[in-house]
Chains A and B, each alone.
Chain A
Amino acid sequence: MKLFYKPLFAAVILGVSASGVAYAKDPVTLKVATHASLRLLDPMTSTADITRDHSYAVYETLFSLDSQYDPKPQMVGDYSVSADQLEWRFTLRDGLVFHDGAPVKAEDAVASLKRWFARDITGGRLGKITKTIEAVDDKTFKIHLTEPYGLMLDSLAKRNAHVPFIMPKRIAETPSNQNISEVIGSGPLRFVAEEFQPGVRVVYEKHKDYKPRSEPMDALSGAREVKVDRVEWISFPDAQTAINALQKGEIDIIERLNHDMAGLLKDKKGVVVHRSGDMQSPAIRLNWLQAPFNSIENRRAVLHAINQQDFMDALIGDPDGYKVCQALFGCGTPLSSDRGVVAPDPAKAKALLKQGGYKGESTVVLNITDNPTFQGLAPMTAQVLRSIGMKVDMPSMDFATYFSRRKLKTPSSEGGWSVAFGGWSLMDLTSPIANINLDTRGETGYDGWSQDDVMAKLKDDFARATTREEQKEIAAKIQERAYELVFYVPLGTYYNYSAHRESVDRLPQAPVSVYWNIGKPAKANAS
C-alpha cells in the first residue's frame, strides 16, 4: 500500500446550494414548467396548445368566454348590432397599448380578423358571410354580413386554435401561410425576444402600460392583472425532472400533469396539486372512404362495441380522474345533450358487422408511441375490435409519422388506415362549428373524410340561430345525426392537473394556462 501513502487525486465537489435565496432587488419571477416546448410563435400558423398559451400571454382577443361559456367583451368597450342583424359595430375600450408603445387601433383589429378569416374554420365561416369589414375611426370598426350570424360574439371569443388574437396591422398583414416575424401584442405580458431560446426557455415581462378590465376574472374573461415582474417558461423534456425541480423549489409551477404524475406529487411537503380548468377528450376517428368503415353499419358496430368506462378505467384508473360522457359537446356545457347516445352492446356490434357485410378485411389501427395523450388508445381499441370479430393490424409509429400516414386516403393494404385517434381538449368540442370531428367536406376535409349534406345544413342552421334555446335544439339534432352516421366515437373525458409551490397562488381556473392573477412573494423566488 506504500504506493498510496499520498493521495493520488482529489475529487472536489464544490459548494452547497442554498435554494430559495432571495435578494431584495431581484425581480419577482414566476418559473413555470410548461407541458411542451415553445418553438412556433404564430398563433395563425400553429395549432399547438403551447403556441396558444404563449399567445394568450402576449395578445388579447376582442371577446372572451366566461365560465358559463358566455362571450364577454375583452378589448371591446361597446358593441352593437343592427336590427336586421347584418351590421355589427365594435368600439375598442380605452387605454389599449401595444408592447411597442403604439395605441391599439380599429385597423389593427380589422387586419387581424382578416388573417384569422383566411386561416381558421370558424373564422372562415364568418369570413365567408362577411361583405365588408372596415375601420370607421381609430377605435371603431364594423362588420357587414350577407346574412344574420348568431355566433358572432362566440366566434370572436373562440378559445382554441386558431384564436382571433389582435396584432398590430403591419404584423397582421403577413400572409396567413407565413410566420410572423415579430411578437408584439397588447396583452398583460411582453415577450422578451432577446431572451427567447426556442425549445428551452421563454421569458415574459409585465406589460407596464397594460390596463386590466375592472370586472373580476371569470375563466378567460375579466381582469388580467400580472402580479409578478417576470414569467419564465422552462421546457422539461422529462416530466420526472420537472417533478423533482418543483419538490426542490427550483420552479414554482408545473402547468400540466397527467393523472399518474399528479399522484407522485400528492402529499409532498410544500407542493399543492389540483385539477386544471380544462379536460381532455380522446376520440376514435374512422376512415369513411375505405372498407370496412365506408359502411355505416360497420361504423355503428364500433360505436356499440366501445365502452367508455372500460377505456377510462384502463387509461386513468381513478374514478375521480375522469367522467364517462357521451355528449358530443361536453357534459355540463351549454349544448350538452343525451340525444342519440348509444349504450355499449357487443352482441349488437357483432350483428351490425354482419349486416354491414364485413368480410374480414384488415382493420388498421394506428398506434402512436411517443405522445402521452394517445398512450393506450390503440391497443385498447384493437382489442375491442378483435372481440367483435374484426381482423386488426396495429402498426406503431411516432407522432410525425402518424400525422403523415393519417393523410393517406388509400386502402389500408396500400399504406392507408382504418382507425385513428384525436386527443382533444374539451373546449375544442363544445361548439358544433368549431368541433372538427363534425366536418362534412368529404375528401377535402378533415382526416376520416366524413361527408353529409344533412349535417352541413344543420350546422348552417346552427350558425344562423340567434337564441341559446334555438342553438341548443339544433345542437341536439346535430349530435343525433353524428351518432347515427358515427362521425366519431368519444372515449370519455379526463382531467389534467397542475401543481405549484405552496408559496405561490395556483394557476387561475381557466381552460387555458394563463399567467395573470398569480401572486408570489418576493422572498419565494425559486432558486
Chain B
Amino acid sequence: MLKLILVRLASTIPVILVVTMLIFLLLRLSSGDPALLMAGDTASAEVIESMRISLGLDRPLTVQYGIWLSDLLKGDLGTSILTKQPVAAMIMERLEPTFLLTLSVICLTLLIAVPAGAIAAWFHRTWLDRSVMAFSVVGYSVPAFVIGYLLILSFAIYLNLLPVQGYVSPFTDFLGFVEHMTLPAVTLSIVMMALVARVTRSSLLEILGEDFIRTAKAKGNTDRRVLWKHALPNAAVPIITVIGISIASIIGGVVVTESVFNIPGVGRLTIDAIMSRDYPLVQGLILFFSLVYVGINLLVDLIYVLVDPRIRY
C-alpha cells in the first residue's frame, strides 16, 4: 500500500510540472494585461510601462517562469500582483469555506443518495424507484444557480428560516455555520446526489440479478441483510468512482454556488483572479486544484483496494 502511495505521488510530479507550464503559458499568451487594469483607463503609455516594470512583467517569459518555478520549489507560491499578499496565504484564507462546503456536500450525498439509489434498485419499477429517478433527472438537469435561487426564495425570503448569504466559521459560531451552510450545501449536493443515486441504482440492479444474491436469499438472509451486507459492497466500485469524479466536478459548481450565496471561498477567488489577470494567484490556484484532483484520484484508488480485495495495482 505504501509503495502504491509513493509511486502514485511520484507520478504526479511530471503532471504538475506540465500543468504549471501550460497554465503559465496560457495566461501570458492570452490577452489582458494586469498593469493596464491597475493603471486604469486614462493612464499614459509611460505610466503603464513603469507599472509593468515594477510588477516584473517586462522580463522574458522564460525568466518569469524560471523565477516562479524556483520560488515554488522553495515552497513560495509568489505574491498577488494586486493585493501584494502572499498567494499561499490568500488561498489558505479562502480554503476553509470551500473545504467545509465540499465536505458538507459529500456527507449529504453519502447520507441521502446512496440509500436512495439502493431503495430505487430494491423497489425496482415501483413508485419509489420512479420518484428517485425523477428526482435524479431533475436534479442533474437544473443548473445549480437556479436551485440556489429557488431555495433562497423559499427558505430565506418567504419562510424566513435561513440566511440569504454569507459565511460564518464553525470555529467561532457553530450554529451560525450550520445556518449559513445549509442552503449552499443542499444546492450543490442536489446535482451530486442525482448522479450518485442513479449510479447506485444501476450498479445494484446488476448485482441483485447475480447468483450469489439468490443464494443469500435461499439461505434465509433477511432482505435488509441481503441488500446492505451482500449487494451494496459488491456494487461499491462504480459508486466510489462516480463519487470521486463528482467531488472533482464539484469544484466547478463551487464557483457558482459561492457566488449565489456570497461565500468567500477559493471558487470566487479564482474568478476574481482570472478577471483581474492576477497571474501569480491564478497559477497558485490552478496548482492547488491540480493537487486536489491528484489527491482525490489517489484516494479513490486506495479505497478501491480496501473495498474490493481482488483489485491489485
Please name all residues of chain B whose beta carbon is closer than 8 Å to the beta carbon of A238 when the two chains form the complex: 259-260, 262
Q: Which of A17, A405, A407 has the most CB of B within 10 A?
A: A17
- Cross-chain contact of B163 among A17, A121, A444 (Cβ < 8 A): A17
B40 near A48 with CB under 8 A, answer yes
A39 near B268 with CB under 8 A, answer no
Q: Assuming A47-B40, A161-B40, what are 11 further A-B pairs, CB within 8 angstroms?
A: A3-B119, A3-B227, A13-B182, A17-B161, A119-B47, A199-B269, A242-B262, A244-B164, A397-B31, A403-B32, A405-B31
Chain B residue with Cβ nearest A436: B42
A248 near B37 with CB under 8 A, answer no
- Name the distance in Å between A420's Cβ and chain B's nearest Cβ: 11
Is A200's CB within 8 Å of the partner chain B?
yes
A446 near B42 with CB under 8 A, answer yes
Chain A residue with Cβ nearest B51: A177
A198 to B161, CA, bound (A): 30
- Name the distance in Å between A443's Cβ and chain B's nearest Cβ: 9
- Name the distance in Å between A83's Cβ and chain B's nearest Cβ: 36
Given contacts A40-B38, A177-B54, A241-B164, contact A198 B179 (CB under 8 A): no
A244 to B178, CA, bound (A): 19
B47 near A2 with CB under 8 A, answer no
A236 near B111 with CB under 8 A, answer no
- Name the distance in Å between A369's Cβ and chain B's nearest Cβ: 12
Is A24's CB within 8 Å of the partner chain B?
no
B276 near A248 with CB under 8 A, answer no
A3 to B149, CA, bound (A): 36
A40 near B82 with CB under 8 A, answer yes
A526 to B209, CA, bound (A): 58
Is B152's CB within 8 Å of the partner chain A?
yes
Please name all residues of chain A whose beta carbon is closer than 8 Å to the beta carbon of B271 when the two chains form the complex: 237
Please name all residues of chain B whose beta carbon is closer than 8 Å to the beta carbon of A446 when the two chains form the complex: 42
Is A517's CB within 8 Å of the partner chain B?
no
What are 23 contact pairs spanning A and B, CB under 8 A?
Answer: A3-B227, A4-B119, A11-B111, A14-B179, A17-B179, A39-B82, A39-B276, A46-B38, A121-B42, A177-B47, A177-B50, A177-B51, A197-B264, A198-B90, A199-B269, A200-B264, A201-B264, A236-B165, A238-B262, A241-B262, A245-B166, A250-B166, A444-B45
Secondary structure at the A interface, as helix, strand, loop or mixed, is loop
Is A146's CB within 8 Å of the partner chain B?
no
Is A37's CB within 8 Å of the partner chain B?
yes
Is A102's CB within 8 Å of the partner chain B?
no
Given contacts A39-B83, A244-B152, contact A400 B160 (CB under 8 A): no
Q: How many residues of A contact B (CB 8 A)?
A: 60
Is B248's CB within 8 Å of the partner chain A?
no
- Cross-chain contact of B164 among A250, A397, A405, A407 (Cβ < 8 A): A250
A245 near B40 with CB under 8 A, answer no
A446 to B43, CA, bound (A): 8
Is A214's CB within 8 Å of the partner chain B?
no
Please name all residues of chain A whose beta carbon is closer than 8 Å to the beta carbon of B108 when the two chains form the complex: 11
Is B85's CB within 8 Å of the partner chain A?
yes
Which 7 pairs show the lowest CB-CB distances between chains A and B? A47-B40, A400-B32, A177-B50, A200-B264, A198-B83, A237-B259, A401-B31
Is B162's CB within 8 Å of the partner chain A?
yes
- Name the distance in Å between A245's Cβ and chain B's nearest Cβ: 5
Chain A residue with Cβ nearest B256: A238
Query: Which B38-81 residues have a C-beta within 8 angstroms of A?
Result: 38-45, 47-48, 50-51, 54, 80
Please name all residues of chain A whose beta carbon is closer than 8 Å to the beta carbon of B44 when the two chains form the complex: 444-445
Is A383's CB within 8 Å of the partner chain B?
no
A245 to B183, CA, bound (A): 14
Chain B residue with Cβ nearest A16: B161
Chain B residue with Cβ nearest A41: B83
- Name the distance in Å between A6's Cβ and chain B's nearest Cβ: 10
A401 near B262 with CB under 8 A, answer no
- Cross-chain contact of A422 among B41, B93, B165, B227 (Cβ < 8 A): B41
Q: Mark A9-39, 1 if CB is under 8 A from B, else 0.
A: 1010111110100000000000000000101
- Cross-chain contact of A403 among B33, B175, B259 (Cβ < 8 A): B33
Query: Which A454-478 residues have a C-beta within 8 angstroms of B?
Result: none
A15 to B50, CA, bound (A): 55
B115 near A244 with CB under 8 A, answer no
Q: Mark A234-258, 1 if CB is under 8 A from B, else 0.
A: 1111101110110110100000000
A285 to B262, CA, bound (A): 36
Please name all residues of chain A whose beta carbon is closer than 8 Å to the beta carbon of B5 when the two chains form the complex: none
A218 to B41, CA, bound (A): 29
Chain B residue with Cβ nearest A397: B31
Q: Mark A398-421, 1 if CB is under 8 A from B, else 0.
A: 111101110100000000000000
B83 near A15 with CB under 8 A, answer no
A194 to B271, CA, bound (A): 24
Please name all residues of chain B whose beta carbon is closer than 8 Å to the beta carbon of A13 when the two chains form the complex: 178, 182
A412 to B46, CA, bound (A): 24
Is A527's CB within 8 Å of the partner chain B?
yes
Is A333's CB within 8 Å of the partner chain B?
no
Given contacts A15-B178, A241-B165, A250-B164, contact A3 B223 (CB under 8 A): yes
Is B310's CB within 8 Å of the partner chain A?
no
B156 near A248 with CB under 8 A, answer yes
B179 near A400 with CB under 8 A, answer no
Please name all residues of chain B whose beta carbon is closer than 8 Å to the beta carbon of A181 when the two chains form the complex: 84
Chain A residue with Cβ nearest B255: A237
Please name all residues of chain A whose beta carbon is closer than 8 Å to the beta carbon of B22 when the two chains form the complex: none
Query: Which A301-350 residues have a C-beta within 8 angstroms of B?
Result: none
Chain A residue with Cβ nearest B273: A199
Please name all residues of chain B whose beta carbon is closer than 8 Å to the beta carbon of A422 when the two chains form the complex: 41
A241 to B40, CA, bound (A): 28
A436 to B50, CA, bound (A): 21
A241 to B259, CA, bound (A): 8
- Name the distance in Å between A147's Cβ and chain B's nearest Cβ: 23
Please name all residues of chain A whose beta carbon is closer than 8 Å to the beta carbon of B9 when the two chains form the complex: none
A464 to B12, CA, bound (A): 68
Please name all residues of chain A whose beta carbon is closer than 8 Å to the beta carbon of B161 when the two chains form the complex: 16-17
Please name all residues of chain A whose beta carbon is closer than 8 Å to the beta carbon of B262 when the two chains form the complex: 234-238, 241-242, 245
